[in-house]
Amino acid sequence: MARANDEVAEALREYADLFALEGGDAFRVRSYQRAAKAIAGYPEDLRAGHARDVPGVGSAIAAKVEEFLGRGSFRQLDELRARIPEGVRRLMGVPSLGPKTALSLYRELGVDSVESLSLAIDEGRLRGLPGMGPRTVENLRLGIERRRQAGERIHLGVADHLAEKVAESLPGAERVAVAGSARRMCETVGGLEVLAVGPAELMSVFTAQSYVAEILSAGDAETSVRTVQGLQVDLRLVPAESWGAALIHFTGDAGHDARLRELAAERGWRLSEHGLFDGDGRIASRSEEEVYAALGMQWVPPPLREDRGEIEAALRGELPALVELEDLRGDLHTHTDLTDGIASLEDMVAAAAARGYSYFAVTDHAPDLAMQRMTLEKALAQRERLARLQEDFPGMRLLHGTELNIGPDGSVDWPQEVLEGFDVRVASVHSHFAQSRDQMTRRLVAACENPGVHVIGHPTTRKIGRRPMVDADWQAVFRAAARTGTVLEIDSYPDRADLPSDLVRLARRHGVKFSIDSDAHAVPHLAYPRFGVGIAQRAALTPDDVVNTWPLDRLLAFLDGGGAPSRP
DNA sequence: GCCGTTTTCGGCCCGACTGTTTTCAGTCG
A127 in a structural domain: yes
The A 133-172 residues near strand B by Cβ under 7 Å are: 133-137, 139
SS (H, E, C) A105-151: HHHHHCCCCHHHHHHHHHCCCCCCCCCCCHHHHHHHHHHHHHHHHHC
Domain around A340? 325-560
How many structural domains compose chain A? 4
The band of A170, judged by pLDDT with boundaries at 50, 70 and 90, is very high
pLDDT tens digits, A58-96: 999 999 999 999 999 999 999 999 999 989 999 998 888
Q: Which of A187, A205, A237 delimits the end of a domain?
A: A237
With beta carbons less than 8 A apart as the criterion, state whether A363 and A319 touch: no
| Amino acid A438: pLDDT | 93
A409 in a structural domain: yes
The A 63-102 residues near strand B by Cβ under 7 Å are: 76, 92, 95-102
The band of A565, judged by pLDDT with boundaries at 50, 70 and 90, is very low
Q: Using DSSP bridges, classify how beta strands A514-517 and A487-491 pair: parallel, antiparallel or unpaired.
A: parallel
Q: State the DSSP H helix or E strand holding residue A103, giving kind and residue range, or none if neither.
A: helix A99-109
Q: Which of A237, A264, A293 delimits the end of a domain?
A: A237
With beta carbons less than 8 A apart as the criterion, state whether A501 and A463 touch: no
| Amino acid A75: pLDDT | 95
**Residues A13 and A94 placed together within one structural domain of the fold:** yes
CATH number of the domain enclosing A481 = 3.20.20.140
Provide the 8-state DSSP code for A227: E
The stretch A406-413 carries a mean pLDDT of 92
With beta carbons less than 8 A apart as the criterion, state whether A382 and A388 touch: no
**Residues A27 and A126 placed together within one structural domain of the fold:** yes
With a 7 Å cutoff on the CB, does A221 touch strand B? yes
**Residues A263 and A393 placed together within one structural domain of the fold:** no
The A 419-448 residues near strand B by Cβ under 7 Å are: none
With a 7 Å cutoff on the CB, does A61 touch strand B? yes
| Amino acid A66: pLDDT | 93
**Residues A223 and A253 placed together within one structural domain of the fold:** no
**CA dist A521 to A57, A335, A377, A453, A525, Å?**
46, 5, 21, 22, 7
> How many angstroms is C1' of B3 away from CA of A56?
9
Of the candidates A527, A434, A503, A520, the one whose C-alpha atom is nearest the C-alpha of residue A187 is: A503
With beta carbons less than 8 A apart as the criterion, state whether A323 and A539 touch: no
Is a pLDDT exceeding 80 seen at residue A150? no
- Check whether the bond before A499 is cis (ω within 30° of 0): yes
Residue A461's Cβ-side half-sphere holds a number of Cα atoms within 13 Å equal to 17
| Amino acid A383: pLDDT | 96
A567 in a structural domain: no
A566 in a structural domain: no
**DSSP characters for A389-440?**
HHTT-TTSEEEEEEEEEB-TTS-BSS-HHHHTT-SEEEEE--S-TT--HHHH
Q: Look at A50-54, A72-76, A93-97, A149-153 and tell me which has the smallest mean pLDDT.
A: A149-153
**Residues A472 and A512 placed together within one structural domain of the fold:** yes
**Residues A16 and A121 placed together within one structural domain of the fold:** yes
| Amino acid A151: pLDDT | 58
Burial class (CB in 10 A: 0-12, 13-18, 19+), A387: exposed
Q: Which of A219, A237, A255 delimits the end of a domain?
A: A237
CATH number of the domain enclosing A306 = 3.30.210.10
B strand bases under 7 Å from protein CB: 1-3, 11-21, 25-29
Of the candidates A431, A437, A366, A438, the one whose C-alpha atom is nearest the C-alpha of residue A402 is: A366
CATH number of the domain enclosing A83 = 1.10.150.110
